[in-house]
């Protein structure tokens, strides 16, 4: 998600204002909240209220210029309401909302055992991501920073869920390279390491699976002073002793995934 609407202003403060309203689409954001966001870390100018009103006016003008034949009344979209502003775009117009909807659908399908639909739903959501981070290049105050962190965490959940669905389908070799990259990029992420261990074990790489656990354990001890969660330790013991089957409930994922090792695919 390199932007939330597919169009937008180029001026940083107006980008920030539009992003703040878009991520609260359908809800009023008060003038004080907007000022806190736009001038975070500095004393707002005395003209802050007037400045926000000017930014809103410019955004409305931009909406008019992008509207077909000027048919759009921007005041019906960027609405002044109860001491603040509300963006009313209808459904299916903000990437963040579409992403969350797709992740919810993926989680639901995975919990129902519809792995193919789950993989497709997660992938639909992940396909909305463009650029390295949500709102890439947009100035971030406290409100947007929290929202970006939440979306980035949800992206990891979507990745973990999509890979879990692929594993259940039997696409072990197809996800192996991706899991190697993800565990290198997120050396403390226990879910990705568990999936990598499972895939390595199922494709006849038991030694590499145990090495993946050892790397995770070393990283957790060095960075946080903790050991991997008990379920991962159980998984490591099952692989070590060559057990034919092990159920492992994924932690930290809203879909509560479960995997079975001992199958080669």
- The structural domains of the chain, with segments of one domain joined by +, span 12-87, 170-265
What average pLDDT does the segment 56-72 reach? 78
What average pLDDT does the segment 130-134 reach? 78
Q: Are 202 and 245 in contact (CB under 8 A)?
A: no
Locus of tokens 């089957």: 245
Architecture in CATH for domain 12-87: Orthogonal Bundle (1.10)
Q: Are 154 and 99 in contact (CB under 8 A)?
A: yes
Residue 203 dihedral angles phi and psi, to the nearest 5°: -100, 20
Of all helices (H) and strands (E), which one includes residue 84? Answer: strand 84-87
Is it the case that residue 213 has pLDDT exceeding 90?
Answer: yes
Cα dist from 127 to 7, 69, 94, 117, whole Å: 18, 31, 14, 15
Euclidean distance between CA atoms 155 and 126, whole angstroms: 7
Ramachandran quadrant class, 29 (left: phi over 0; alpha: psi -120 to 50; beta: rest): beta
Confidence band, pLDDT 50/70/90 cuts, at residue 73: confident
Q: Which of 7-16, 49-58, 182-191, 224-233 has the lowest mean pLDDT?
A: 7-16
Euclidean distance between CA atoms 43 and 35, whole angstroms: 10
SS3 state of residue 164: helix
For 21-48, the pLDDT digits (tens) are: 999 989 999 999 999 999 999 999 999 9
What pLDDT, on a 0 to 100 scale, did the predictor assign at position 256? Answer: 42
SS3 state of residue 202: helix
Say which CATH class 170-265 falls into. Answer: mainly alpha
Query: Which DSSP string do the residues of 225-245 spell out, in sequence order?
Result: S-PPPHHHHHHHHHHHTT-S-
Euclidean distance between CA atoms 1 and 92, whole angstroms: 14
Residue 13 dihedral angles phi and psi, to the nearest 5°: -65, -40
Q: Residue 176 contacts by C-beta under 8 Å, 6 or more apart in sequence?
A: 196, 199, 200, 203
Is it the case that residue 159 has pLDDT exceeding 80?
Answer: yes
pTM for the whole structure: 0.84
What pLDDT, on a 0 to 100 scale, did the predictor assign at position 262? Answer: 36
| Cα dihedral 59/60/63/67 (nearest 10) | -170
What pLDDT, on a 0 to 100 scale, did the predictor assign at position 132? Answer: 72
Q: Are 265 and 203 in contact (CB under 8 A)?
A: yes
Mean pLDDT score of the chain, rounded to an integer?
87
Euclidean distance between CA atoms 154 and 81, whole angstroms: 31
Percent of the chain with pLDDT strictly greater than 70: 86
């Amino acid at each position: 998600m390199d932007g939330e609407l597919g169009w937008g202003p180029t001026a940083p403060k107006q980008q920030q204002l539009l992003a703040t309203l878009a991520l609260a689409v359908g809800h009023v954001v008060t003038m004080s909240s907007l000022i806190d966001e736009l001038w975070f870390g500095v004393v707002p100018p005395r003209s802050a209220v007037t400045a926000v009103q000017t930014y809103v006016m410019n955004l409305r003008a931009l909406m008019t210029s992008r509207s077909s034949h000027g048919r759009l009344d921007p005041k019906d979209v960027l609405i002044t309401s109860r001491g603040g502003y509300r963006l009313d775009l209808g459904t299916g117009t903000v990437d963040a909302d579409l992403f969350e909807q797709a992740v919810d659908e993926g989680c639901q399908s995975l919990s129902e055992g519809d792995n193919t639909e789950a993989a497709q739903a997660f992938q639909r959501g992940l396909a909305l991501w463009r650029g390295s981070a949500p709102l890439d290049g947009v100035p971030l105050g406290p409100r947007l920073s929290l929202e970006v962190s939440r979306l980035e965490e949800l992206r990891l959940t979507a990745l973990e869920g999509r890979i879990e669905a692929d594993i259940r389908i039997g696409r072990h070799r197809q996800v192996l390279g991706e899991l190697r990259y993800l565990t290198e990029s997120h050396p403390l992420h226990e879910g990705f390491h568990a999936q990598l261990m499972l895939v390595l074990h199922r494709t006849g790489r038991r030694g590499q699976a145990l090495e993946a656990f050892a790397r995770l354990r070393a990283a957790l001890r060095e960075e946080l002073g903790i050991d991997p969660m008990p379920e991962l330790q159980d998984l490591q013991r099952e692989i070590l002793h060559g057990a034919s089957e092990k159920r492992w409930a994924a932690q930290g994922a809203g879909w509560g995934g479960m995997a079975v090792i001992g199958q080669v695919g």
